[in-house]
Amino acid sequence: MEGKEDVTVYIMGHSCGISDRLLLNHILEHENCKKIKIYYYQKSEVDDDYFEKIQEISRHFKGTNKSKMRDRILIHSECVPLTKYKPNLSKKQ
**Interval 61-86: pLDDT, tens:** 988 888 999 999 999 999 999 988 88
Q: Smallest Cα–Cα separation from 75: which of 36, 42, 48?
A: 36
With b for 16 or more beta-carbon neighbours within 10 A and e for fewer, the 70-92 pattern comes to eebbeeeeebeeeeeeeeeeeee
Q: Smallest Cα–Cα separation from 38: which of 16, 60, 20?
A: 16
Q: Is residue 29 part of a domain?
A: yes
Q: Is residue 26 part of a domain?
A: yes
pTM beyond 0.85: the answer is no
- For residue 12, give its domain range: 7-81
Average pLDDT over residues 45-66: 92
d(CA 84, CA 63): 35
Q: Is residue 1 part of a domain?
A: no
Average pLDDT over residues 37-55: 95
Chain mean pLDDT for the chain: 90
Q: Cβ(42)–Cβ(85) under 8 Å?
A: yes
Q: Is residue 42 part of a domain?
A: yes
* Total count of domains within the chain: 1
